[in-house]
C-alpha cells in the first residue's frame, strides 16, 4: 500500500481506539518515550531520537512479579503465575529496536523457553518505521547491521518522498493494514528502492571494522590498556545497561510474609556495570575492577553473544548508552580505538 502521513496517522488512531497502541512521543525538549495513544496525542513521524528507554521494556518490564505462593499444608505450597497480558501494539519502532527485539526472541527461546517473556511477545504486534535519515548524530545503525532490519515486524512503514510504503509481513500485519485507508501499490520493490536511493550515504557514524571481524579483534586485546583509559571517568552507575535494548540480565528476589506462609517472587533488571553485579557468597567479586566490567560489556555486545547466537553484533547502533552516559563514555569510541590499535600493531609487526 501507499498513503500520505496523515492517513497513516488516522490508521494508527483507529487501531488505538480498539487496542492499546504505544507510539514515540516527546518527553521534555529533546527526548522521546513510548506512550499510549489517546485522543489528545499529537502523532507525527518526525525525526526523533531513539526513546530513552527502549521498547524492549514492554516485553521485559523493569520489575515484574512472576508468581505468588501460598502455604496450603505442611511443606506444601500452591504457586499462582502472576503474568497476565493483553494484546498491545508498538508503533513507530525503528529498525535498530526491531533487531534488538528479534535478538531478545533468540535469547529467551534459548534453553528453557521463558514463558513470561513470550506471553508478552505473543501478545505484541510491531509496526516498524524505516529511517529516511539518521535519527541522531551519534547513530551508527548501518555499521552495526540494523539499518534495514525487518525480521519479526508485522507491518513496516517506509518513507518514500511525501508518502509512505506500507508493507505487511505477517498474517497479523495483513489484518492490521486491512483497516487502513490506503492506496494499492503496484510495485513495492521499486518504491523501496527509491527509499534506499534517497537515503544519505554513508548513513550515520561508521565503525572502523565490519562487525563480523570484531570478535577476533577483541579476542586479541584482552589486556589492552585502552580498557583502563576508557573507564577512568566511569561512575559504575549502570545507565548504559539500563538504556540498552539488548541488555537482559535480571535479579530474582522472593518477598515473603514474616511467617513464611505466603509471598511472591519478582525479577528486576540488573546491570553488569554495577560494582556488585559479579559479587558472590563470601564477598568475592569476579569483576571488581571497573575496566574488567567495561571489557565484559563490550565483548558481550561484539563478541560473546555474536558467537553464541551467530547473530551479528548484539549492539544495534542506537547509541543510547553513549547519549545517556553521565560522563560521555561511548562504546562506539571504545571499539574504534581498539580496532585502530589492532591495525597499528599489525602494521608495526609487518
Paired sense of beta strands 31-36 and 21-27, if any: antiparallel
DSSP secondary structure letters along 192-216: HHHHHHHS-SS-S---SS-GGGHHH
Q: Cβ(164)–Cβ(2) under 8 Å? A: yes
In this structure, is residue 165 part of a structural domain?
Answer: yes
Q: Residues 73-92: pLDDT tens digits?
A: 998 999 998 877 899 999 99
Q: Is 161 inside a domain boundary?
A: yes
On whether residue 348 sits in a domain, the answer given is no
Which tens digit of pLDDT belongs to each residue from 192-234? 999 999 999 999 999 999 999 999 999 999 999 999 999 999 9
Per the structure, how many domains does the chain have?
1
For 30-55, what is the mean pLDDT? Answer: 89
**Which domain covers residue 74, as residue numbers?**
2-342
**DSSP H or E run through 264:** strand 262-269
pLDDT value at residue 97: 98
Q: 134 CB contacts (<8 Å, ≥6 apart)? A: 141, 200, 203, 204
Residue 95 belongs to a domain? yes
pLDDT category of residue 348 using cuts at 50, 70 and 90:
low
* Cα(325)–Cα(234) distance, integer angstroms: 9
Q: Is 349 within a domain?
A: no
Report the pLDDT value the prediction gives residue 350, as an integer from 0 to 100: 47
In a domain, 179, yes or no: yes
Residue with cell 488516522: 10
For residue range 284-314, what is the model confidence (pLDDT) as tens digits? 999 999 999 999 999 999 999 999 999 899 9
350 falls within a domain: no
- 347 found inside a domain: no
Amino acid at each position: 500500500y501507499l498513503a500520505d502521513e496523515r492517513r497513516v496517522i488516522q490508521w494508527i488512531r483507529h487501531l488505538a481506539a480498539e487496542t492499546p497502541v504505544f507510539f514515540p512521543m516527546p518527553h521534555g525538549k529533546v527526548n522521546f518515550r513510548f506512550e499510549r495513544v489517546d485522543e489528545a496525542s499529537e502523532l507525527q513521524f518526525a525525526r526523533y531520537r531513539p526513546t530513552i528507554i527502549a521498547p524492549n521494556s514492554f516485553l521485559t518490564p523493569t520489575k515484574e512479579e512472576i508468581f505468588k505462593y501460598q502455604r496450603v499444608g505442611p511443606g506444601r505450597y500452591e504457586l499462582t503465575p502472576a503474568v497476565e497480558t493483553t494484546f498491545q501494539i508498538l508503533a513507530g519502532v525503528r529498525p535498530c529496536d526491531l533487531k534488538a527485539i528479534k535478538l531478545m526472541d533468540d535469547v529467551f527461546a534459548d534453553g528453557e523457553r521463558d514463558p513470561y517473556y513470550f506471553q508478552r511477545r505473543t501478545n505484541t504486534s510491531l509496526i516498524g518505521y524505516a529511517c529516511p535519515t539518521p535519527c541522531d548524530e551519534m547513530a551508527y545503525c548501518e555499521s552495526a547491521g540494523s539499518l534495514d532490519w525487518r525480521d519479526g515486524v508485522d507491518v513496516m512503514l517506509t518513507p518514500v518522498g511525501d508518502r509512505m510504503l506500507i508493507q505487511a509481513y505477517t498474517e497479523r500485519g495483513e489484518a492490521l493494514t486491512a483497516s487502513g485507508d490506503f492506496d494499492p501499490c503496484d510495485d513495492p520493490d521499486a518504491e523501496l528502492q527509491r527509499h534506499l536511493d534517497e537515503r544519505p550515504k554513508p548513513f550515520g557514524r561508521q565503525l572502523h571494522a565490519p562487525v563480523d571481524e570484531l570478535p577476533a579483534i577483541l579476542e586479541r586485546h584482552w589486556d589492552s590498556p585502552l580498557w583502563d583509559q576508557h573507564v577512568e571517568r566511569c561512575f559504575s552507575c549502570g545507565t548504559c545497561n539500563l538504556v540498552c535494548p539488548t541488555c537482559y540480565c535480571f535479579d530474582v528476589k522472593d518477598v515473603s510474609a514474616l511467617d513464611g506462609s505466603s509471598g511472591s517472587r519478582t525479577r528486576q533488571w540488573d546491570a553488569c556495570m554495577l560494582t556488585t553485579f559479579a559479587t558472590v557468597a563470601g564477598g568475592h567479586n569476579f569483576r571488581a575492577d571497573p575496566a574488567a566490567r567495561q571489557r565484559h560489556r563490550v565483548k558481550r555486545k561484539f563478541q560473546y553473544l555474536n558467537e553464541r547466537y551467530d547473530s551479528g553484533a548484539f549492539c544495534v547502533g542506537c547509541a543510547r548508552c553513549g547519549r545517556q552516559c553521565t560522563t560521555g563514555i561511548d562504546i562506539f569510541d571504545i571499539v574504534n580505538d581498539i580496532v585502530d590499535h589492532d591495525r597499528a600493531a599489525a602494521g608495526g609487526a609487518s
